[in-house]
């Protein structure tokens, strides 16, 4: 099994929450003192160039993120050894039905509905590991209809990639093709049918993106109604 085929072979998406302090503050959340994560179904993946679907009654927000793709089975792995088990990366958007998430938070319920709809993890193709030499200096950006909404750098992460992988692997085994979404910078906001979402990622000292993404947005035709 190759990590490059993570879209079809990966078993889980581990999504780190509140890993950029400014993002935590913009949503009125406390800045965490230890990593916090939730799980998303792999059925929420949407390949680059696809269409994000907005469920009826949902206010959906974009969250641009660096995704880490695991290349080896990883359990109880110390941060100092983590990178031996990372195969590469991807650029992802963690779509969130914000109104459903806020309702769930008030009731102390899981976020599975708010985060787990089909098409709610738009993601790029595999990015080779050697594309980034310094994980603490990676630029991320997202535009809606050509206007910047999010511009961030991984230097502002509260917990770095090795720390995140160590923490998750201390709780559950990570397998080949599993993905860790490492958190989003400030600037999250709503998207709606008819919007065009684009994004990019590059080393902080580079001029050109190593990967770009592009997605349309449409209303979801289905039974769900918020």
Token pair for 112: 């599975």
Residue 56 belongs to some domain of the structure: yes
In a domain, 44, yes or no: yes
How far is residue 129's CA from residue 164's CA, in Å, rounded to a whole number?
17
203-223: pLDDT as tens digits: 998 999 999 999 999 999 999
- Burial-class residue 32 by CB neighbours within 10 Å (0-12, 13-18, 19+): middle
DSSP code at position 81: G
Residues of the chain with pLDDT > 70: what percent?
Answer: 97
Write out pLDDT tens, residues 85-139.
999 999 999 999 999 999 999 999 999 999 999 999 999 999 999 999 999 999 9
Stretch 133-157: mean pLDDT, rounded? Answer: 97
Report if residue 40 sits inside a domain.
Answer: yes
* 226 within a domain of the structure (yes/no): no
pTM for this prediction: 0.94
**Residue 168 DSSP SS3:** helix
Stretch (H or E) spanning 191: strand 189-191
pLDDT of residue 20: 87
How far is Cα 139 from Cα 141, in angstroms, rounded to an integer?
A: 7
Number of domains, the chain: 1
pLDDT of residue 1: 56
Contact 193, 217 (CB under 8 A): yes
Helix (H, G, I), strand (E, B) or coil at 43: helix
């Amino acid at each position: 099994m190759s990590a490059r085929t993570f879209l079809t072979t990966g078993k889980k998406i581990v999504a780190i929450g509140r890993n950029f302090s400014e993002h935590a503050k913009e949503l009125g959340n406390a800045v965490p003192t230890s990593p916090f994560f939730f799980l998303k179904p792999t059925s929420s993946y949407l390949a680059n160039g696809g269409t994000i679907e907005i469920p009826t009654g949902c206010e959906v927000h974009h969250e641009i993120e660096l995704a880490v793709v695991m290349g080896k089975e990883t359990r109880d792995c110390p941060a100092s050894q983590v990178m031996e088990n990372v195969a590469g990366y991807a650029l992802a958007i963690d779509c969130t039905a914000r109104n459903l998430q806020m309702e769930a938070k008030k009731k102390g319920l899981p976020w599975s509905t708010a985060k787990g709809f089909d098409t709610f993890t738009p993601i790029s193709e595999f990015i080779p590991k050697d594309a980034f030499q310094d994980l603490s200096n990676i630029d991320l950006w997202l535009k809606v209809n050509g206007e910047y909404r999010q511009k961030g750098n991984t230097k502002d992460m509260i917990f770095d990639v090795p720390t995140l992988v160590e923490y998750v692997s201390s709780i559950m085994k990570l397998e080949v093709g599993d993905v860790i979404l490492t958190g989003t910078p400030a600037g999250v906001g709503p998207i709606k049918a008819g919007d065009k979402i684009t994004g990019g990622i590059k080393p902080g000292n580079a001029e050109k993106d190593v990967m770009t993404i592009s997605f349309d947005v449409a209303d979801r035709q289905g039974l769900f109604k918020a």
